[in-house]
Homo-oligomer: A and B are copies of this chain.
Amino acid sequence: MTSALPIPTTLDAVPAAVEAALEVFFGRAVPVAADVDPQVGEAGEVVRDFVLQGGKRVRPVFAYAGWLAGLSSSGRELPATGPDSPGAQDALRVAASLELVQACALIHDDIIDRSDTRRGRPTVHRVFERRHIDDGWAGDAAHHGAAAAILLGDLALAWADDMVHGHHPGDATVPGETAPRPLPASVGRVWSSMRTEVLGGQYLDIVNEAGGDESVDAAYRVMRFKTAAYTVARPLELGATLASAPASLIGDLRSIGHDLGVAFQLRDDLLGVFGDPDRTGKPSGDDLVAGKRTALLAVGLARAGERDPALAERLRAAVGRPLTEDEVRTARSILTDVGAVDEIETQISGLLTSALATLGAADMSEPVRTELGAFAHRIAHRTT
Contacts and interface: CB of A to CB of B under 8 A. Distances in A.
Interface stretch (A183-191, A259-267, A301-309): A183-191
Contacts of A143: 114
Contact of A193 (B1, B112, B170): B170
A97 to B, nearest CB: 11
Most chain-B Cβ atoms within 10 A of its Cβ — which of A146, A154, A171, A183? A154
Contacts of A146: 111, 146
Interface in A156-189: 157-159, 161-162, 165-171, 179-180, 182-183, 185, 188-189
A218 to B, nearest CB: 9
A128 to B, nearest CB: 9
A179 B268 CA distance: 39
B167 A185 contact: yes
B112 A147 contact: yes
Given A150-B112, A212-B138, A32 B188 contact: no
Contacts of A104: 154
A210 B139 CA distance: 7
Interface in A46-97: none
Size band of the A side of the interface? 35 or more
Contacts of A36: 196-197, 200-201, 204, 225
B168 A203 contact: no
A202 interface: yes
Interface stretch (A37-45, A323-331, A357-365, A376-384): A37-45
Interface string A193-232: 1011101111110110111100000000100010000000
A188 B166 contact: yes
A176 B144 CA distance: 49
Contact of A202 (B151, B189, B225): B151
A240 interface: no
A104 B155 CA distance: 12
A29 interface: yes
Contacts of A320: 139
Contacts of A20: none
B108 A150 contact: yes
Given A180-B185, A188-B165, A206 B151 contact: yes
A37 B221 contact: yes
